[in-house]
Amino acid sequence: MSTVTPVDHGELTVPAPGAMDLPSALFSELAELERLLRDWLLGYTSRATRLSYADALGISRTWVTSLTPEPSPRPSRAAPPVRTGKFRHLAWFRWCDQARLHPLAVTSTDVKQWQQELAHAGVPKSTRAHRLAVVGKLYGYLWEHGAVPGDPTSFDRSGLGLSRSHDTSATVVLTAGQVELLLHTAARVRRGVSELMALRAVALTALFTLGLRVGEVTGLNRGDLHQNRGRKALRVLGKGGKSRVVYLSELADNALTAYLAERDRWSRASVLSLPHQVASHSAPLIVTRDGGRMNPRDIWALLRRVAAAGGPELADVANALGPHVVRHFYVTSAAEGGADMTHVQADVGHASVETTQRVYNQAARDPSRSAVDIVEATLLRARNERTSVTALSDAADDLARAAATGDPVELLHQLQEVDRLCTGPVVPDAVVACLDEIARAQTHPRVVGHARALLERVSRPAGPRW
């Protein structure tokens, strides 16, 4: 524990940031808070869960990772800057710091005010609900251990508008063609992208086509890749520390095999084997350039870069693309392909089949499930009928002028045009009258024969007359 020096902030006297890298000094009891947070987070087996909770609270990921350190095959010489997230400044501890509130003395009014500011800033409903749930879990723990007098999140939340039961998800639903194009684009070796990094991008995209969460992918180790019932599978640690087996598609198997083979080739060629080097089975399945575990935000950024390079077909979804979008593709494609919802639930790690059904129902429906094309076809038929009637009326005028001149060549030409246009059930009376006049008054046998045959054809239906 580092030494804490109190810093005066007006009404509050709070300590300077400690090892947790909190936004600024928040607690005079920093050592006790750190102990409680450490104990609370270590109560969750899943590393992804601990990091997700840290993001909701505004705690440094580095500090959380240090709680259960794991050796790295290669120490990073120049680590890239950490992506902090768009709404990190509104994470709970950071918001308390800005509002000059002591987190151990907040009330339900403060929590509601925080939620209002999250909504005003445009934080998605799902993110607001997640952050509130995490804060509630933390204060429930603090209350049990006597650190706070009560849980400030224990109030009726129905007025916060966090329910999604009647919402249509804003998540983009990709087509199979778009996902295939995403994989194809990821495989291209471009400027600044080596063959190894291109193979990594393909492997990541392919893993999300299995319905995995981003935190589950970053938490995978090489030892989680195994054979199960004669088929390659992944041992995935999901929400709540629940493990499940996810079978690999041939596409994902090929992508992972190619990436791992190339990675091993480069590792053996560039790094000497050291006695303290981490065993391959406990190394991350997907790694950074330096062999470390990937940050979920970097994966988000990678997928969007790939989509931006995918051309017009992906241009409209590039800014909204992320791991969860490809995960949704798995659920919707499986459901629309006739898969049993309980099987889909097991694949994606939902707590209940109702959750899987809700994800599918809230997704934008496949166009084939919409009546929009039926309605459009009705409108187009009406348009075609109106256009046909107008064209026939014009043709009748031209036929009448040709009949006045008596030119048999022109008459035959206009009769053929009327014959071509008489395809619908509605034939203007002017056309019938003109044909009748030609059949009675003209003397050229071909003209009379054509007029009579056409008159018989258009007079046979009992359709309406104009």
pLDDT band for position 138 (cuts 50, 70, 90): very high
What gap in Å lies between CA 347 and CA 333, rounded to an integer? 13
What is the spatial distance between Cα 443 and Cα 9, in angstroms, rounded to a whole number?
Answer: 110
Whether the CB-CB separation of 309 and 185 falls below 8 Å is answered with: yes
Residues with Cβ within 8 Å of 330's Cβ and at least 6 positions away in sequence, in order, are 208, 209, 210, 211, 344, 347, 348
Note the maximum CA span of the chain: 117
238/217 Cα distance (integer angstroms): 10
The answer to whether residue 166 scores a pLDDT higher than 60 is: no
The CA-CA-CA angle for residues 118, 158, 132, to 5°, reads: 40
In whole angstroms, what is the distance from residue 325 CA to residue 202 CA?
Answer: 16
CB 336 within 8 A of CB 197: no
CA neighbor of 183 nearest in space, from 164, 209, 205: 205
CA-wise closest residue to 111 among 157, 174, 75:
157
Burial of 218 (C-beta count, 10 Å sphere; 0-12/13-18/19+): buried
Whether 284 shows a pLDDT value over 80: the answer reads yes
Alpha helical stretches, state H, 219-280? 250-270
Q: How far apart are CA 418 and CA 83, in angstroms?
A: 70
- Give the per-residue pLDDT at 1: 32
Write down the pLDDT at residue 64: 87
Can you tell me the distance from the alpha carbon of 33 to that of 76, in angstroms, rounded to the nearest whole number? Answer: 31
- Over range 186-198, report the average pLDDT: 84
Give the residue, 26 or 382, on which the prediction is more confident: 382
Please say whether the beta carbons of 438 and 399 come within 8 A. yes
pLDDT of residue 394: 82
Question: How confident is the model at residue 462, as a pLDDT?
Answer: 46
What is the spatial distance between Cα 234 and Cα 220, in angstroms, rounded to a whole number?
A: 8
Q: What is the dihedral of CA 173, 178, 179, 184, to 10 degrees?
A: -160
Give tens-digit pLDDT for 410-425. Answer: 888 888 888 887 776 6
Q: What is the mean pLDDT of residues 159-184?
A: 74
CA–CA distance, 451 with 432 (Å, rounded to integer): 10
What count of Cα atoms within 13 Å lies in the side-chain half-sphere of residue 84? 14
For 27, phi and psi rounded to 5 degrees? -125, 135
Residue 135: band (very low, low, confident or very high) from pLDDT cuts 50, 70, 90: very high
State the pLDDT at residue 81. Answer: 55
Q: What would the two tokens of residue 202 be? A: 């393909």
Q: What is the pLDDT of residue 383?
A: 66
- Residue-wise pLDDT for 86-107, tens only, equals 788 889 989 988 888 888 888 9
Angle of helix 176-186 relative to helix 323-336, nearest 10 degrees, comes to 140
Task: Give the torsion through C-alpha atoms of 150, 48, 240, 233, to 10 deg.
Answer: 180
- The model's pTM is 0.57
Contact 144, 106 (CB under 8 A): no
Tell me the average pLDDT of the chain.
78
Q: What is the three-state SS of 68-82? A: CCCCCCCCCCCCCCC
Q: Is the pLDDT of residue 118 over 70?
A: yes
pLDDT band at 259 (very low <50, low <70, confident <90, very high): very high
The residue ranges of DSSP E strands in 341-381, in sequence order, are none
Residue with tokens 């791991």: 323
Where do the structural domains in the chain lie, given as residue ranges?
A: 6-160, 176-369, 372-459
Q: How far is CA 423 from CA 379, 448, 460, in A?
A: 18, 21, 13
In whole angstroms, what is the distance from residue 178 CA to residue 175 CA? 5
Burial track 330-348 (b if 16+ CB lie within 10 A, e otherwise): bbbbbbeeeeebeebbbbb
Tell me what the mean pLDDT of segment 382-394 comes to: 75
Residue 76 has pLDDT above 50, yes or no: no
Q: How far apart are the two ends of the chain, measured CA to CA in Å?
A: 94
Which residues, in sequence order, are bridge partners of residue 287? 293
Counting Cα atoms < 13 Å in the Cβ hemisphere of 82 gives 8
Cα–Cα distance measured from residue 144 to residue 223, given in angstroms and rounded to the nearest whole number: 37
- CA angle, corner 156, sides to 42 and 123, nearest 5? 65
pLDDT tens-place string over residues 220-231 = 999 999 988 888
Q: Which CATH architecture group holds 176-369?
A: Orthogonal Bundle (1.10)
From the number of C-beta atoms within 10 Å of its C-beta (0-12, 13-18, 19+), residue 16 rates as: middle
> Which neighbouring-strand residues pair with 246?
234
State residue 465's pLDDT score. 39
